[in-house]
Amino acid sequence: MIILGIDPGIATVGYGVVAFEKGSFLASDHGAILTPAHTPLENRLNKIFDDTTELIKKYKAEYLAKAKALYTMLKSKTKTSSDVLKLIDIRDAFLDAAGVMQKTRNCLTDIEKQKLFQEFIKKVIAPTGGKYIDEIVYRYLMSLGEQLGGHMRNVIGKAAQSKLTHAIIAQLQLQNLEFKAHKRNGKWVPGSQYTYKMAEEVRAIRWDNGEYKRMLVYNLTVPGIGGRNKNVDIVIFNKQTDDISSSSMKGLMADAKVLHLMGELKGGIDPAGGDEHWKTTRGALERIREAYKKSYVIFIGASIEKSMSKEIYTQLQNGQLDYVANLTNADQLAAMCAWIVEQ
């Protein structure tokens, strides 16, 4: 974790940066943002803002660089998931990926840490087969989402969306259903031309099983839910269109009957942030239910803590939620996607 401390001022702003790693605080950087004498106030504030923004970017970039370094090492030193067990020197990175908090690690012996490491690789990573490197790096990034702020949460959100896209398309392929994926370049790609690497670019998916037509679109502003910049993560329509521009979607949603399913997707796996994510998500799901009582409502989360799970289970039992799945549990995600495709 990186902590940036600010000593505020108008002429001079002091700062200090410390890193919290392996249970200890380490000084990383310190200094001051200086503004020349007789500088107009608005210019001083602009310089302070710009220099502080650069500081934040600098230390966010360090975590992204770590993720890239982890990917490179796995690519060069492993051929299968079992080879990962030999990389003892970077075990902490794998414990991060497993979502083991630093406070928990401080209470564990080396033998206990090693056992957790082995169980993580065996039960979580090995089942992904040849995609084990992507899975490890994805989980590593998700574990850092709360530490890196808004920009990183966008990265995590995109990674979670890609994972869901993979799972839905896998179900469509398994059931031999015709589908198309809409890429960010504005083109619909037939299922026969779809490749695994396209998932990050997919903004929408549509399919047809002969009985009904469905179209999933990510991140839409839905009328009557929240306000400005309050997008719904997952929206599935019972109608298809070629144009999924904002204006087209707004026109389509003028008829509430086309909104078949809506839901929230949360990718961060930092356990400390799980409850906070749920509080925000719970409010969004309540707004969906109030505005669209006939639509299915779902929740997909990567960090579902015990305190959350009781409330979520209650909502499933009383019909407030139609389906819930843990994004990091392959069986749950596959079952949910099968259900989505069949509705």
SS3 per-residue string spanning the chain: CEEEEEECCCCEEEEEEEEEECCEEEEEEEEEEECCCCCCHHHHHHHHHHHHHHHHHHHHHHHHHHHHHHHHHHHHHCCCHHHHHHCHHHHHHHHHHCCCCHHHHHCCCHHHHHHHHHHHHHHHHHHHHHHHHHHHHHHHHHHCHHHHHHHHHHHHHHHHHHHHHHHHHHHHHHCCCEEEEEECCCCEEEHHHCCHHHHHHEEEEEEECCCCEEEEEEEECCCCCCCCCCCEEEEEECCCCCCCCHHHHHHHCCCHHHEEEEEEEECCCCHHHHHHHHHHHHHHHHHHHHHCCCCEEEEEECCCCHHHHHHHHHHHHCCCCCEEEECCCHHHHHHHHHHHHHC
Model pLDDT, residue 274? 52
Residue 321 β-bridge partners: none
Model pLDDT, residue 190? 93
Please report where in the chains the tokens 């950087």 appear, as a residue.
29
Model pLDDT, residue 151? 47
Q: Judge whether 139 and 84 are in contact, CB under 8 Å.
A: no
Model pLDDT, residue 148? 45
The phi, psi pair for 60, rounded to 5°, reads: -65, -40
Q: What is the pLDDT along the chain (343 residues), one digit of tens a residue?
A: 677 888 888 888 888 887 665 556 667 778 888 888 888 888 888 888 888 887 876 666 666 677 778 888 888 889 998 898 888 888 888 887 777 766 677 777 888 888 888 888 888 888 888 888 888 887 787 666 544 444 445 556 677 888 899 899 999 998 889 999 998 878 899 999 988 778 888 999 999 877 889 999 999 999 888 555 578 999 999 999 999 998 999 999 999 999 999 999 987 655 545 556 677 788 889 889 988 989 999 999 877 767 778 888 899 999 999 999 988 788 899 999 999 998 8
Contacting residues for 81 by C-beta, under 8 A, at least 6 apart:
121, 125, 126, 128, 129, 132
- Dihedral of CA atoms 144, 148, 154, 160 in degrees, nearest 10, equals 10
Model pLDDT, residue 42? 83
